[in-house]
Amino acid sequence: MIHRNFVLLTLLWLLSARAGYAQKVIGQAVLRTPTIQRYEKAEWDIVLSQQFQNPYRQQEVTLDLVLTSPSGMPVVVPCYFERNNGAASAWKARFAPREVGSYTGLLRLTQKGKTEEKPIDGFTVATSTNPGFLHANDLYTFRFDNGELFRGIGENVGWEARSFENQKWTYDYLLPTLAKNGANFFRTWMCYWNLPLEWQKVSSTKRYTNTTDYFNPGAIKRMDELVHLTDSLGLYFMLTFDWHGHLMEQGGWRNSPYNRLNGGPARTPTEFFTLPAARAKYKDKLRYVVARWGYSTHIGAWEFFNEIDNAVFTQQDSLLIPHDAVTLWHGEMSRYLKDIDPYQHLVTTSISHRDILGLNSIAYIDFNQKHIYKHTEKIPGIYPSYIQTYGKPYVVGEFGYRWEDADPNYKEGFNYDYKRGLWYGLFSPTPILPMTWWWELFDDQQMTPYFRAARTISDQMLAAGHGEFEPFAVTSGTVQSFGMRCGDTYFVYLLNNGLNKATVPVYFDVRGKNLVVQAFAPTTRQYSKLTRFELKREQLTLPDVMLDPRQELVLLVKASR
C-alpha cells in the first residue's frame, strides 16, 4: 500500500511539473541590435504569455535581464512593459554594455513571490568611441568610464514652451543652439506640463493630453525623442524627476498623482515621504525610468527634486514637512536608485536657499546643489564652505539676476550676471558651472554664443592640467580677480565690477622663467600677446591692465622652467 501511494504521488508530481512547464510565462526574446558596441544601446523584444493587472507595479511583476559580463561581474538590467498583445504582453530590455567581450545571461520573471528563469543567447560586444557614463571624480570634474574628464557648461532648459509661451522654445530648437555654441550640459524637469510621466491630468501645455494610462504615453514618447536628440548632439543633461510644486498644499498637490483624491496613496504631502505605499509607487517610477532610458550615456545625472525646501517651508519659513521625513526619503530613494541602475549614473537633489537637516550628508547622493538669485556675487564664496563641511562636490543648479519674471527692462543686469556667473564657476571647485535660468530671455538676447568663450578656456584648463586645478591669489587693485593653475599654465580672470574705466597693476606668483603671456577677450574670443610684463623673484607683474566698466578679461600665462 505504501509503495502504491508513493508511485501515485510521484505520478501526480510529474504531471503537475509538466503542466507547470507548459505554463511557462517567458516566451521568445529577440535581440534587435545587429552589432552591439560598448556604451551603445542594445535592445531585446520579449514576449510574456500573460497579461498583468498593472505591469508597472513591482509588487505584481518584475522582469530582469540578468547578465554575466566578460570579467565575470553580474549585471542586472531592469526590463519594462511596452504593450499588451492579445493574451500576451510585449516587454523590452535596453542595455548599454560597459565591457568589451562575450556576455551570457538569462531573463528572470518574478511575480507573487515566484521566480521563473529562461536563458538567452549569448552575445559579443565590440569597442566604440563613446567615452561611457559620467561618474564622480573630484571637486572640479566628473569622469567618463574611459577616464576622460568633464566639466559641465550650459544652462537650464527647464521645459519646452507652455501653452501661453512662444512655441519656438522647444528642445528641437534650444538644444541644437546650445550644442553649436559650445555648451555641453543642460537641466530639465518632469512636471505636469513637461515630460509628465506620472501625470494623467496635464495643464498649461499643448504638447500633452490627459490619459487614463498609468504612465502618460505622450511623456514616454517625448522622453524617447529627448534622449535620442541629446545622444545625437553630444549634450549631457540632468533629469529632474519632480518639481517641488506638486507637494505644495497651495500649489500642485491638488493635482498630484500621489494625492489620494486623484487615486494616489497619500492624504498629505508629508505622507508622500512617509507612507510605504507612496514610497513603493515612487520606486516603480524609478525602475521604469532606469529600464527605459538608463542606457543613455547622455543622461548625466538623476535629480530627485527641484528646490525641495520650497515644499518643506512656507514663504515665512514655517515648517510644513518634517526635515527627517525628507532626508530619510532621499536616503532610501538614492540607495534604491543606485541598487537598480546598472550604469551608476550620478544622483543629486536640490534646494533653493534653505538647507534641510541631513540632506547634504546622504551617502548615495553624489553632489549637492543649491540655487542663487539676486546674489550672483556670492557664488565664489559658497563652494569652499559647503565642501569643507560635507566633503562633496557642490553645484549651483540655477542662478539669475532676479527670480521674478524675466522682465526685458532688466536685460542688462541679466546679461551681465549671465556672463560673470559662468566665469565664477569656471574658477571655482565645481564640476558643473552655474546654470542660468531664463533660457527664453537669453535666447532673445542672443547670449547663447557666449558659452563658446567659457568652453574655450575650460577645454584649455583640462588639456593643460589633465585634471590638476590649483587656485592661487592674484592682486589686481580695484578689479576683481581669480587665479587657477592647471599644469604649467596660469589662468587669471579679471572683472571690472565698477562703472568707471580702471587701469590697474596685476601681479601673482609664477613658477618658471620662460613665459608666454596672452590676453583672451571673452566677448570676441580673440587673443592678444602681451609683452609688457616683469618677472622678478617668481612674481609676474603686468603694470597697467586696462578694463572698461563691467569688462572682463582672461590672462593665460604659460611657464616653462
- What does the pLDDT look like over 430-468, one tens digit per residue? 999 999 999 999 999 999 999 999 999 999 999 999 999
Beta-bridge partners for 83: 90
Residue 18 confidence (pLDDT) above 90: no
Average pLDDT rounded to a whole number, residues 96-107:
98
Per the CB < 8 A criterion, the answer to whether 188 and 158 are in contact is yes
Average pLDDT rounded to a whole number, residues 471-498:
97
The residue behind cell 516587454 is 91
The confidence band for 409, taking pLDDT boundaries of 50, 70 and 90, is: confident
Q: Provide φ and ψ at 387, rounded to 5°.
A: -65, -45
Per the CB < 8 A criterion, the answer to whether 191 and 246 are in contact is yes
3-state secondary structure 2-39: HHHHHHHHHHHHHHHHHHHHHCCCEEEEEECCCCEECC
CATH 3.40.50.2000 at 470-560, yes or no: no
Residue 109 confidence (pLDDT) above 80: yes
Global pTM value: 0.94
Report residue 39 as a C-alpha cell.
556604451
Q: What percent of the chain has pLDDT over 90?
A: 89
Per CATH, the homologous superfamily of domain 134-463 is Glycosidases (3.20.20.80)
Domain boundaries, the chain: 24-126, 134-463, 470-560
What is the pLDDT, as a whole number, of residue 71? 97
Residue 15 confidence (pLDDT) above 60: no
> 405 or 561, which is more confident?
405
- Count of C-beta atoms within a 10 Å radius of residue 363: 9
Could you give the dihedral angle defined by the CA atoms of residues 238, 134, 230 and 439, in that order, rounded to the nearest 10 degrees? 40
Residue 3 confidence (pLDDT) above 70: no
Identical fold, 24-126 and 470-560: yes
Q: What is the mean pLDDT of the chain?
A: 93
Sequential DSSP letters for 280-304? HHHHHHHHHHHHHHTT-TTEEEEEE
Distance CA 399, CA 417 (A): 9
Q: Which of 145-149, 398-402, 410-414, 418-422 has the lowest mean pLDDT?
A: 410-414
Per the CB < 8 A criterion, the answer to whether 362 and 330 are in contact is yes
Distance CA 547, CA 267 (A): 59
Average pLDDT rounded to a whole number, residues 494-520:
95
Protein fold of 24-126: Immunoglobulin-like (2.60.40)
Distances (CA, A) of 207 to 82, 160, 201, 204, 346: 21, 9, 13, 9, 29
Q: Which residues contact 532 (CB under 8 A, 6 or more apart)?
A: 542, 543, 544
The confidence band for 19, taking pLDDT boundaries of 50, 70 and 90, is: very low
Distances (CA, A) of 430 to 157, 435, 516: 20, 12, 28
Most confident of 243-247, 511-515, 530-534: 530-534
Could you give the dihedral angle defined by the CA atoms of residues 398, 399, 400 and 401, in that order, rounded to the nearest 10 degrees? 160
